[in-house]
Structure formats: structure tokens, C-alpha cells
Structure 1
Amino acid sequence: MEIITNTSKLVKPATPTPSNLRNYNVSFFDEQMPNMNVPLILYYSTSESDVHVNIFNHLETSLAKTLTDFYPLAGRYMRDGSFIDCSDQGALYVQATANFQLSEFLGLAWELKFSMLRDLLPCEIAEAGEVDDPMLNIKVTTFECGGFAIGMCSSHKISDMSTTCTFINNWATRSQASSNNALELENYYPIFTVPRDFPKRELNDLTPRLPRISIVTNTPARIFLFKGNAISKLREKVIFKDNKGHRPSKVQLVLALLWKTFVGIDKANNNGQSKASFVSQGVNLRNKAVPKLPDNLCGNFVGVAVAQTDTCEGDNIDLQGFYMILHDSLKKYDSNYAKALTSGEYDVLMKSFLEYSQNIMNSDVNFYGVTSWCKFSFNKADFGWGKPVWKSTGQFAAQNFVVMMDDQEGDGIEAWVHFDEKRMGQFEQDLDIKAYAIYTPSQ
């Protein structure tokens, strides 16, 4: 099974970017983000005989039109000045072909399939932040059956997942054959006002540079699938009521179970002693502001909510307890941030980022990073050949890191867990994980 790259080119905006938009200053939130690419791959199944003839040019043409709206994604990041030079240098566009069918790939054992994900991406995840690096990289791979995959890496310096979804929806809408989509396209027109409302701090970019080499990591990643019925069983174990009638979300339920398992594993590997344990959760701030901000507000507009247990505290906490700690930390975060976003209190806005950076490097605590991509609209992106039959990310060079995505049915969760080899083995054998998650190891 082989994927062959045929051509690579830079696609420029269909309409040149006006000179008054040449320099795009990053925002306060952009400054907090690392110089890395965020990988996402969408898989499409089609049996149309002419799809391979048309798809590369079709997607390239609609991409150029989309870049006219998303002009910063066609620019280059100037690290020294913390701005994007929007001179229409272009987004990388790679065309590739696979000598096998999409169904063969999807049917592979997980570890075999996972080893091929990098070949479906246009560049290395850490290849970002230098003046020659595109802010957006796309790779379209066609399969023998007529299916195709769109792999993309967008720079975290300018894009969070909400921005990526707005871009994808704009591109997909322009790619559809219907000419009556002008009204729909308005929903996906980007709003670039975050740098104006939350300007950068005028400090040098202090975010770390990641190695510009092929990522070879000893940190395995596995998918653990929590189906809708398993989440319903978890929900039965958590007693939670508030005055608004909310019930526990699937993300918080699964995260509570994962955190409980992480604490137990860390205790077993630390001579039966529990360290303080921290979980950071990425938070989309668009629906935290008052009034709520639109989904097509583009750029980074995310925060970090941190939940914690003290030393030995985790020994006596059950699933209900871990859930309540997570819930209370988000509730407190929402309250504090809603006020800070309205008043522009930078000390409050900075606090969670500082807490994150301090604890991630602290060897005296166990720290876990979690990001949820559930309910984001890339699950429904239709470029003219229907919705994706699967979606995936790539392997991050990180330990103690989890990416959550909706399963194909929409009511479950795929948890992409990054752990070292020893603890991954312990995680797979944990009784709670075996009771609620589906995991099929390589054969």
C-alpha cells in the first residue's frame, strides 16, 4: 500500500489582497499559541468514475476563491514582529494518489492505519513558524475506488478549530455544484476582529519552537471508542442536577473516566503515592462572551480551564467526584472569563495560560492536556460528494495528551490518547476502560 505525491504547488488567493490588509497583527490569544500545525484529515467515499479527473482542479479552484476571504492563511508569519505578512505567498497544495481503496485503509488494524496517517498529511505537524512556512497546507489523496482524503495542517498561530471549521465550510460551499449558495456562504465569511478587540501585548514571541524534523516519538497514540450506549451507562453513574435542568455532557463524562484512570495508573507507578493531578481543557470562548460572539469569528479565541486534585486527594475520589471537579472548574472559569472578556482584564485572561505553562513543566505534578473537537462542523463538510465517512487527526509529539472527536453516529466519542508505552499498556488493561471503551489492537 503506497501513497505517491504527484505535484505540489502554492495556491494564491483568486483576488489579490488589498495593500491596506498587508500586515495582519496577531491577537493576544494568538500570541499564546505554539508555532505548530494542527492536523485534520477528512475521508470521502465516492464511486464516480470521473472524480479523479476533476477533483484536483476543482478543489484547487474553489480553494483559491476561499483564500480571497481567508487572506491571512495565504500569508507568512513574521515571528520577530508578531504579525502575518499577507502578500499572497499562497497555501501549499499537494496532489497525491494511493494504489489501494479507501475501504482497505479504513479496514486496517489500528496501528497499521495509524502509521499511514502521516502520508495523508501535507507536511510535518511541527513545521511552522518560520518565514518560509505556509500558514495553511492541504493534501488531496485519491484512492483507486474513487474515494479521496483531504489532509490539512493549519498553523495554530492564526487558527483554532472553530476557525478551521469556518474555513472548511467556506471551501466546501464554494466547491458544491449548486449556484444558489450565496446566502449560505455568508455564514462562513470570516470576521477578523480579535486583534482589534484583544491586541497583542507588544512583547517578543516567546512561544517555543518545535523541532523541524520528522516527528519520531516513542509516545504511542491509540483510539478508544466510547459508543453512545456506553456514555448512557456512564451518565447513570453520575448524579447531577442544576436549576437549568442540564445533564452531564458526554465530553465531561468521558474525561472524568479518563482522569480517574490516569490518577490510578500514576499512583501505581509512584509506589502507591498520588501526586497532585492537573487536567487542562481547551475552551472555545465565542459562546462564553456576553453577548455571545459568532462562530465565524476567526483567529484564536480560546482559553484554558485547569482542574486539579491535590496530593493524595485523588485516592478517595470516584467517577462522580472527578466529574464534579471538572464541572466546577469550568463553571468558575466561565464566570471569571465572561467578565474579563467584557472588561479586557488581561491579568485575568493571562492567568490560565500561565497556570498551564507552569504546571506542564512541573515534575512534581501529573499534568494532562485535553482538547475536544466534538460538535465542530467538519463532521458534515460536503464538497459535493457527501459528508465524510471518517475523520482523523495525526500523531502529536506529546505525552499525557487527549484529543476527543465525535464518532460517526454523533452520540459517541473517539478519544485519541497519547501515553508512553508502559502506561498505555496499563491504560488498555484498566477495568473501567475495558468496560466502557472499544479498542481493537493491531493484528
Structure 2
Amino acid sequence: MVSSLVSLISKKIIKPSILTPPTKKSHKLSFVDQVMHMSIPMAFFYPKIGNYEPTHVPQILENSLSKLLSFYYPYAGRLNKDDANYVDCNDMGVELSHVHVHCPMSHILRQPYTNSDHVVFPVEQPYAHMNEGNLATTQVGDGCTTSNFFNDWGILTRDINATLSPHFVGESIYPQSTDSSAVTTFKSKESTYLGKKFVFPVEKLNALKAKIALARGVNDSGSFKPSSLFQVANMRHRLNPPLSYDTCGNILSGYFVETNNEKDVNCSKMVGEMKKGKLNLHPKESALVKSIKKGKTPFYSNDEVDNYFCSSLIEFPLYKVDFGWGRPIRVGMGAGPFDKFFILLDNQSGDGVEVIVMLDEQNMAIFERDLELLEFASPITNL
């Protein structure tokens, strides 16, 4: 990011418009909250549409965010100083900055994906504040919660009197652990990796699905190292009774797909194993929880095994977040201290898939030139 492109106009702490009642002043973290200290910055790019003047937008967003925090009350709190397993819902508020970007948005979107999206993040390293205790930047909520937060903010911006119904489940799904040896906090590495976005248009996506269904051959990778893929899954609809999508928290699990032989490096076989892993997900016996308690992490690579991490936001309507000036023309995420990490989300039209891939420089140079990838996907470098 070129910092000279951005200048700060104002910075404010936005507090909830309604104080949190005494019965909700303490929010107990779940086991997944305890161990997953990960945060992925998000950016929404909008065209100038309608009668909104840029000078009016900050006040509009401040008012709606204040109302929003009355519903998402833990995010206006802080981690307890004496016991970080709790959130003090003390209405301290969140920081909201108003900045000026000294170039047209069309110029930003013509730049390579990584460079353009990082312009709008508050610091050059968008993960710098993720461990400072502010719940707006420290994750106490999964992709579903994040999507709901932004969509609900848009709803209140369009209608400040709208009624919302988010509810936080705390540790009721995955009980908090008091065993310090089991609660090993996994944080992202300090290194910065490249992040690039690729889009699979619907016609190419259908062709890829057909090819995988017919494929039986083995890919020749040129080199092989045992690998493990961890796929995150939303568990709301798998619980009994199922939870509604306005339930907030890290209500997720996941499963591992491992390859120990080069003959297993086969798209058709991998897809089959992923489907099997998804079908076998148990609502309560979380693979994520069990693996972490055993000291196994799906988040880092080591010298012996390549560990890959995948999360899908496809079912969450990020491209429908509307603050009153239309839907975004791009949804971006910060490329940060994650290696072998990729995120799937819907594209703008809703019929294709966008993939954000995070790799180190050497692996990215190989990946983005892969002929089989480029047969179905195109890198996003401009609009």
C-alpha cells in the first residue's frame, strides 16, 4: 500500500446507542473462540450511485453503527483484563475512521488485486491491531456472523428504525475449556504472504465440475510432499435442533483431507474425499476442537507436511451488503500472515465463484501460471 494515497480526516469512537443490560454484561467465550485468534480484514467497494453526497456518508454510518452495536453488543466491549476467556460488554465502542483516498476508485481497481484492496485498510499491515482486544478487529464470530454484521449495518443505514434479531450463543455449542494445556492459542505467523484473487465464471465452473466427474488420472506435480487440507464448515444447520443464520459466534467445525502418496493427488479423488468428510461431520464432536486438543493445528505448515486451510463464504451474501447506494462492485479481503490459505466467495453476479489465494512468493509464482488453473479461472487484476 502507498500510504501517501490516504489521509485521515477524522477518527471517532462509536458507542452503542442503547446501553447493554446488566444480564448481558459478560460474554463467555467458546472453546473455538479461545483458540482461534484469527481475523481477516474486509473491504467493500461501491460506485457513486443515487443522491448521497460523500460529505454526508460519515454521519450516516456513525448513526447506523451506533444502533448496530446495541444489537452486536460484545463487539463494543473488550476482553477481560484479568480473564481473557470473557468479554466485558462495557459499551466502550469501536473505532471508526473517515479518510480521503487521493485517487479515483477506478484507478484503484485497475491495479493488481493485492495492492488495490490494501489501500482502504487503516494501516499498511491490516492485521496490526488484531490482538489488541478490540472485538471489532479480534474475531469472535465466523463468516456467517461477519456477513450478518455487515448486512445488518446496511439495513440500519437504509432504515434506522429497522428491527434486527442477532443472538450470541457464547459457549453453549462448544463449551469453554479450563484446561490450560488443551487451550493452545494458535495465531497467524508474522510473515506476510501474497494474496491474489481468481474468478471462476459460471460456464468455466460447470466445465470444471464435469471434468472432475470424469477424471481418473493422476496429476504430475513434479515433486511431492505429504499434504493435509482443512476445510471449515458452518454447523448451524447441522445441529439438532438447527440454529438460525442470525445466530452469532464461531459455530463451525471442519474436516481434514490428507494425501500421503502422489497417486492420491487427483482432483476427482480429492473431491470425493471432501464430500465424504463433509457428510461425516458430527454436530458436537468438532474435528477442529479435537485436533487442537491433540496439539494438531490446521493453520500452519511445517517441514514434513504441507498444511492447507480452506474456508467458504459462498452461502453468505457479501455482495448484497447495501448501505443505500447499491451493491458493492468488489468485495476484498486483506492478504496477510497466512500461508497456503484460500477463501471462496460468490462473485458479483452470483453465478460464479471468486477465490482468494494466499501463498508465499515462490509458490504463488508457480500457482498463478498453472495452465490447468488458467483453463478455468482468470486472475482479477482490473474491472
TM-score past 0.5 threshold:
yes
Q: Within 2, Cα distance between the matches of 1:285 and 1:126?
A: 30
Residue 159 of structure 1 deviates from its aligned partner by 1.5
The corresponding residue for 1:115 is 115
Q: Within 2, Cα distance between the matches of 1:381 and 1:33?
A: 26
Q: Within 2, Cα distance between the matches of 1:226 and 1:17?
A: 44
Residue 37 of structure 1 deviates from its aligned partner by 2.7
Residue 167 of structure 1 pairs with residue 154 of structure 2: no
Q: Within 1, Cα distance between the matches of 2:31 and 2:72?
A: 20
Q: Within 1, Cα distance between the matches of 2:23 and 2:251?
A: 24
Note if contact 1:62-1:174 (Cα within 8 Å) is conserved in structure 2.
yes
Q: Within 2, Cα distance between the matches of 1:358 and 1:389?
A: 32
Note if contact 2:72-2:166 (Cα within 8 Å) is conserved in structure 1.
yes
Q: Deviations over 1:28-80 (max 9, x none)?
A: 2212311x432111111124565212110011001001101111000111365
Letter of the 1:418 counterpart = M
Residue 390 of structure 1 deviates from its aligned partner by 1.1
The corresponding residue for 1:222 is 196
Residue 208 of structure 1 deviates from its aligned partner by 4.0
The corresponding residue for 1:302 is 252
Structure-2-length-normalised TM-score = 0.88
Letter of the 1:128 counterpart = M
CA-based RMSD: 2.7
Letter of the 2:345 counterpart = M
Letter of the 1:174 counterpart = L
The number of aligned residues is: 371
Give the 3 Å change call, closer, same or farther, for CA 328–382 of structure 1 in structure 2. Answer: same
304, 320, 328: which one aligns with 1:364: 304
Note if contact 1:359-1:365 (Cα within 8 Å) is conserved in structure 2.
no
Letter of the 1:63 counterpart = L
The corresponding residue for 1:249 is none
The corresponding residue for 2:279 is 331
What percent of counterpart residues are identical?
A: 25
Give the 3 Å change call, closer, same or farther, for CA 374–388 of structure 1 in structure 2. Answer: same
Unaligned stretches of 5+ residues in structure 1: 137-153, 241-252, 254-259
Q: Within 2, Cα distance between the matches of 1:427 and 1:231?
A: 18
Give the 3 Å change call, closer, same or farther, for CA 235–196 of structure 1 in structure 2. Answer: closer
Q: Within 2, Cα distance between the matches of 1:290 and 1:171?
A: 30
Q: Within 2, Cα distance between the matches of 1:197 and 1:415?
A: 30
Letter of the 1:155 counterpart = T
Superposition map of 1:51-130 within 5 A: 51-78=53-80, 81=83, 82-106=85-109, 108-110=110-112, 113-123=113-123, 124-130=126-132
Structure 1 segments of 4+ aligned residues over 3 angstroms from their partners: 47-50, 203-206, 208-211, 352-356, 358-362
Letter of the 1:331 counterpart = L
Residue 425 of structure 1 deviates from its aligned partner by 1.8
The corresponding residue for 2:184 is 206
396, 405, 411: which one aligns with 2:351: 411
198, 203, 211: which one aligns with 1:237: 211
Secondary structure at the residue paired with 1:367? strand
Q: Deviations over 1:368-425 (max 9, x none)?
A: 1111111212210111111111111011212111111211121212211112222222
Q: Which has the higher helix share?
A: 1
The corresponding residue for 1:319 is 267
Note if contact 1:403-1:415 (Cα within 8 Å) is conserved in structure 2.
yes
Residue 178 of structure 1 deviates from its aligned partner by 7.9
Residue 293 of structure 1 pairs with residue 243 of structure 2: yes
Letter of the 1:119 counterpart = V
Letter of the 1:121 counterpart = F
Higher relative CO (Cα under 8 Å, sequence separation at least 6) belongs to 2
Q: Within 1, Cα distance between the matches of 2:191 and 2:305?
A: 26
Residue 190 of structure 1 pairs with residue 169 of structure 2: no
Letter of the 1:129 counterpart = N
Structure-1-length-normalised TM-score = 0.77
Q: Within 2, Cα distance between the matches of 1:364 and 1:193?
A: 38
Letter of the 2:58 counterpart = F
Note if contact 1:77-1:129 (Cα within 8 Å) is conserved in structure 2.
no
Note if contact 2:114-2:194 (Cα within 8 Å) is conserved in structure 1.
no
Note if contact 1:277-1:365 (Cα within 8 Å) is conserved in structure 2.
yes
Secondary structure at the residue paired with 2:79? strand
Note if contact 1:59-1:175 (Cα within 8 Å) is conserved in structure 2.
yes
Residue 209 of structure 1 deviates from its aligned partner by 5.2
The corresponding residue for 1:135 is 135
